Chains A and B, each alone.
Chain A
Amino acid sequence: MAKREINEERFNQMREMLASAECATKTVPLASIQLDENSFNRNEIQIGGAPVKVSNGFFQKLATTLKVSRSLTNEMIKNEDGKIAVSLMNGLKDYRQSRDAGGEILLIANPNSREVIDLCDPKRFRRMTNESVFDVTSNIINDNPNLSIETIDFDPRNGKAVINLLNAEEVGFPGAGKDEFFKFGFSIVQTNKDTYVETYNQRLVCSNGLRVSLGQGAIGGNRDIQFEERFRLNGTGAEDIRIFLNRINEMNKAGFIPGGFQSALNNAVNTKASLFEIEEAMLIAQRMVRDDDPTMKKAYIDTVARQYFHSHADTMARIVKKGQDPMRLNDKQKGFIRTGMSIWDVVNSMTFLGSNDSGIPLSNKHELKESAGRLFGKGTKDGYDLQFAQYAQL
């Protein structure tokens, strides 16, 4: 196997561990699931007469499947109206079975806790086993020498596993700064019911030699950003697997750079941040400053404004010079006022503070990076405040 951050030995260990932790599944007729008045108290159902332990949230999930309101179910369980809830669910279950003769349900069980933790329509279960995902990963790594496995994450509570692969190739973008390079990669995510792929990127800040991760997801963990690539396995048939692997291959051909990333970056580089955008970013950073000494805290807050969002003060001074009181402006009005920093400069300031030891004590750096991601993604969703300002002159 080709090089990777996680070596072959660790890879095989993880494979073995995740294979043994794999959730057990079984498709059963809906009618074979029986509830009685003690089911809620005991967290237990019966399948064909056999008692089966279920997790805490199972009944809410069953209720959703049967189209019973979750809150109503919660209320009935809480009020110890188990009998009514059971009657309701059994009735609906029988109704579903009679309407849908083949009505089946796929049960997902945690083999370690020996309880059923989830359920779904068998047609919606589109997941490869962990072992198969490791096989596929192994093939991908062998076929793409530039790829390496950065990390493999596993949450034993819900069985979610994520394999993060990174392309070693560093990509520069015009306008992003000559020392700015990005690395792109993708994650193969295993939930209880799905196997899917999503892209993520890492940013290299070469000027200070540090590699700054913008987090999982396209940037800052923001899942709504449109240029992010995400697709699911549609089934475990040969054609589904082929389409899934081909999409990974297509991503590889594009260097794992999500479509639209370049234009998103161009927009961020070429659009000046509004007073509202810069002020919002600055306030987020300033609110995170922590120091017991009020004098020191104020000094740090001033440093944040001066060093990382300097255009804010400049713009405020410009407004005053024009005879206006900036303190009386509302957010909407601030959104029309241009500053000297581009959106990209503001994102840079936030991610730098969120990723490096700037000497300023900050309480929640991760949130700062997420906010940076939100600001960056704003361009592909609603548009930056001044992204279309030139149209005002038409």
Chain B
Amino acid sequence: MKRWGVLLFLLLLPSFLSAQARYESLFDSMLFTSAIPRLEEAIHDTGRRHAIYSYNLANATTPGFEPILFEDDQRQLLNMVPEDSEYFAKVVVEHMSAKMAINRGRQQAYYALYKKMFDNYKQVVTLGKK
């Protein structure tokens, strides 16, 4: 009887070990992904963008002020007006307001994801207990 027990243990040991390794890699992939630093960077980026859009908006009535436009903003403007038009040389308040609203939406989405990631962590760490 004892022999059978030892044999069974020896037979099941590799699958136990491989399962453990699989869970470890699963935990690692859930806990140490690049998603969190990327989300943090994205959140910082939305803050930076918001500050720059605010800067453009605050200087909308400053004579000779040229707005600071990101690549995607420039592309968006280019779809509507030619590059040499005055829209590139002055602040278009509606454009800036719209971009700020989009930026706000993005920030909310990033924060929601960030929160979700932490909920996932909590679930992993507590082994699924609520």
Does A pair with B? no
Chain A residues within 8 Å of B, Cβ to Cβ: none
